[in-house]
Chains A and B, each alone.
Chain A
């Protein structure tokens, strides 16, 4: 085992070194989950896993969708401290991710280590592009709620920019910028909401937000209709609001630690404890740099459930590491969610029409 500390400054371990650091840890994790998660053990047996991996691509993986249909955990029921659930549109099943106390603490540590790279260690005044109601519904703990609550730990003096009907709360926003507009502050929101409910409403007021850092996530699908990509998003916000520091991130509830964060180069990077592989859906072989395929994410953190190597439902491509760049590792571009299968089976003939 190499002596590299994965908890050092995130996004800092060079690609080649990172692969040698992660590989033995991932093999250990495969064995760990084989021992404690019987369905996973059956899976390994069926795919003829022999305990050997010569590269990260040899680490077994399975589709993330299985967390929706199977209870996959490597801890006993009594040790389950928290169950995370994924977002899902109405009627869809959601993923259920079991964490014990250790895993829950690790999740927070991992997120904060990654965010630290762009936010520093100070907790900044924080404007949340959502309505205060998002953190008040306790009955259903949606991914949106979880995301907002998770990010709120990195800020203080939380203000919510929107009303419940998604209109701009002018009084709240004005008072936030009067109070904190000239000091460093944090803006967080979901990409589409930042664009449609915040930026498009507030751009006409000419507020200077150049001291702000914007962190956003949630995908580009809804913005494709408005022909807004990452470059347009950033340049528009820079021109109209003066925000220079804008960071997109990509992550999923099914994998602790895989918060892929946008570096200064405009690409997503994996933190030190995570890695990304892109696979060709026709052969499931790995894709060369620049070739679009299905994204597989790896992380050495999940111990309470077998989420260390997952095939996502997202498509994208990777580009090689740039030598001596401040953000190390492969550069990732996420293009969006694979279209859901539209199955016209006998079994859904009328039911699905409703």
Chain B
């Protein structure tokens, strides 16, 4: 067991003791009779986790945990339950799929809690692979989840397993045999590799490969804001982009200014306010990342991908990006913003490769957004959200309704 996970009660699988798999198989086949979507014990466990998180002493300084705690509130879950039932086709009952095996990402620790909640809320059991590289947030989160589970009703307490095994396709295949759904987050290469590991024929794979995100800001709308409004918007943009060092799939990299008046001074005004938000929130870019960012940016200038750079602050380095359709070869985050200027939002369609996940917007009408979606078509972003909501996890993610992915429809007469 690794140091990182030493104080977490998890099941370490090394493949040397067949009893482990017998035990896991027994766990798998023990189907709780109460396993229906939005069961009372499942809701209670989520709400208990919400309370636990809110009562953590330093939670205020942790926007990612605050967001999770809000998302797990009783009222929020009730709203989700209503939507879930409203979205069901006529004459259909819904049942869980069984065991959902999770391979959470290592860059955004809170994802494992969100997908766990969706798993138990949809009436399933969760087997979660805990990485060696689990961050401090993730470690605390798993500990809190275990505390909550220990106090939950037995059906829920037994519903969740935290597992760890070394990367070995044979072990992954053996654990995959448990799964009715595999949920895999990772880079393209690792998602493909995992996908090649066999599971049962009925198992579904829900895959979250590499994505990238961007933001679009209407010049006119920005100029119409007063100073406080601009600060608020800049702060929202800071939260979107730098909460996870600009390394989350949903963190904007490209910043598109839409409209044609007075661009440069407006950009500078906004970036200065983003820098001020970073200072206010005591954001710090580690030296190694700072140098990597500098190297990436200078390389882009040499390649002619950008025509100018602006060092606004340690956490804000802006490049005037030449071609909205071109991505940098590498990404290091830490506050590097690729700025482009476009006449209308629909022009952003050419920036939408198959990998664009989130577009954070401010100042556009519903019809402008619709024009973009029509122009981008199958390459449309999965989510278009207001500034400040880029990281807000939802049951609809990467174009999938996860509650539907985790359940099965029973067509009734």
| Interface residue ranges, A against B (CB under 8 Å) | 39-40, 42-43, 45-48, 62-63, 65-66, 69-70, 72, 281-284, 294, 311, 313, 315, 338-354
Count, A-B residue pairs, CB within 8 A: 135
Interface string of B129-140 (1 = CB under 8 A from A): 001110100000
Q: Indicate if B247 sits at the interface (CB-CB under 8 A).
A: yes
Q: Given A339-B286, A346-B210, decide whether A62 and B190 contact each other with a Cβ distance below 8 A.
A: no
Interface string of B103-127 (1 = CB under 8 A from A): 1011110000000000000000000
Which B residues touch A340, using CB under 8 A? Answer: 288
Q: Given A46-B308, A46-B309, A350-B187, decide whether A345 and B298 contact each other with a Cβ distance below 8 A.
A: no
Which B residues touch A345, using CB under 8 A? Answer: 107, 187, 247, 331, 333
Q: A38: shortest Cβ distance to chain B, in Å?
A: 9
Q: Indicate if B294 sits at the interface (CB-CB under 8 A).
A: yes
Q: Give the interface segment out of B53-61, B235-243, B299-307.
A: B299-307
Q: Indicate if B186 sits at the interface (CB-CB under 8 A).
A: yes
Count chain B residues whose beta carbon lies closer than 8 angstroms to a beta carbon of A: 53
Q: A312: shortest Cβ distance to chain B, in Å?
A: 9
Q: B158: shortest Cβ distance to chain A, in Å?
A: 28
Distance in angstroms between the alpha carbons of A338 and B293 in the assembled complex: 14
Besides A294-B287, A350-B167, A351-B190, 12 new A-B residue pairs in contact (Cβ under 8 A), listed by A number: A46-B308, A47-B301, A311-B291, A313-B291, A338-B291, A344-B107, A344-B244, A345-B333, A346-B107, A349-B106, A350-B186, A353-B133
Distance in angstroms between the alpha carbons of A244 and B186 in the assembled complex: 56
Which B residues touch A46, using CB under 8 A? Answer: 301, 306-309
Distance in angstroms between the alpha carbons of A338 and B292 in the assembled complex: 11
Q: B224: shortest Cβ distance to chain A, in Å?
A: 32
From B108, B245, B302, A343 is in contact (CB under 8 Å) with B245
Q: A43: shortest Cβ distance to chain B, in Å?
A: 5
Q: A42: shortest Cβ distance to chain B, in Å?
A: 5
Q: Given A62-B298, A66-B298, decide whether A353 and B291 contact each other with a Cβ distance below 8 A.
A: no
Which A residues touch B331, using CB under 8 A? Answer: 345, 347
Q: Indicate if B220 sits at the interface (CB-CB under 8 A).
A: no
Q: B175: shortest Cβ distance to chain A, in Å?
A: 14
27 A-B pairs with CB atoms under 8 Å apart are: A39-B302, A42-B303, A42-B304, A43-B301, A46-B301, A46-B309, A63-B298, A66-B302, A69-B329, A70-B303, A281-B291, A282-B314, A283-B314, A311-B294, A315-B287, A339-B286, A341-B288, A345-B331, A346-B185, A346-B208, A346-B211, A347-B210, A349-B190, A350-B186, A350-B190, A351-B186, A353-B133
Q: Given A282-B314, A284-B311, A313-B291, decide whether A350 and B302 contact each other with a Cβ distance below 8 A.
A: no
Q: In the complex the two chains form, is A281's CB within 8 Å of B314's CB?
A: yes
Q: In the complex the two chains form, is B135's CB within 8 Å of A342's CB?
A: no
Which B residues touch A343, using CB under 8 A? Answer: 245, 247, 289, 292, 332-333
Q: Indicate if B101 sits at the interface (CB-CB under 8 A).
A: no
From B105, B307, B334, A346 is in contact (CB under 8 Å) with B105
Q: Indicate if B193 sits at the interface (CB-CB under 8 A).
A: yes
Q: In the complex the two chains form, is B133's CB within 8 Å of A344's CB?
A: yes
Q: In the complex the two chains form, is B290's CB within 8 Å of A281's CB?
A: yes
Q: In the complex the two chains form, is A349's CB within 8 Å of B247's CB?
A: no
Which B residues touch A338, using CB under 8 A? Answer: 287-288, 291
Which B residues touch A346, using CB under 8 A? Answer: 105, 107-108, 185-187, 208, 210-211, 247-249
Q: Indicate if B295 sits at the interface (CB-CB under 8 A).
A: yes
Distance in angstroms between the alpha carbons of A259 and B236 in the assembled complex: 48
Which B residues touch A63, using CB under 8 A? Answer: 291, 294-295, 298
Best-surrounded residue of A62, A66, A344, A349 (most CB of chain B within 10 A): A349
Distance in angstroms between the alpha carbons of A346 and B190 in the assembled complex: 10
Nearest to A39 among chain B residues (CB) is B302
Best-surrounded residue of A40, A72, A341 (most CB of chain B within 10 A): A341
Best-surrounded residue of B193, B194, B210, B302 (most CB of chain A within 10 A): B302
Q: Indicate if B196 sits at the interface (CB-CB under 8 A).
A: no
Q: In the complex the two chains form, is A349's CB within 8 Å of B294's CB?
A: no
Distance in angstroms between the alpha carbons of A62 and B245 in the assembled complex: 23
Q: In the complex the two chains form, is A65's CB within 8 Å of B292's CB?
A: yes
Q: In the complex the two chains form, is B247's CB within 8 Å of A65's CB?
A: no
Which B residues touch A313, using CB under 8 A? Answer: 291
Distance in angstroms between the alpha carbons of A42 and B322 in the assembled complex: 13
Nearest to B111 among chain A residues (CB) is A346
Nearest to A340 among chain B residues (CB) is B288
Nearest to B187 among chain A residues (CB) is A347
Nearest to B189 among chain A residues (CB) is A351
Which B residues touch A344, using CB under 8 A? Answer: 106-107, 133, 135, 244-245, 247
Q: In the complex the two chains form, is A350's CB within 8 Å of B210's CB?
A: no
Q: Indicate if B14 sits at the interface (CB-CB under 8 A).
A: no
Q: B329: shortest Cβ distance to chain A, in Å?
A: 8
Which A residues touch B333, using CB under 8 A? Answer: 343, 345
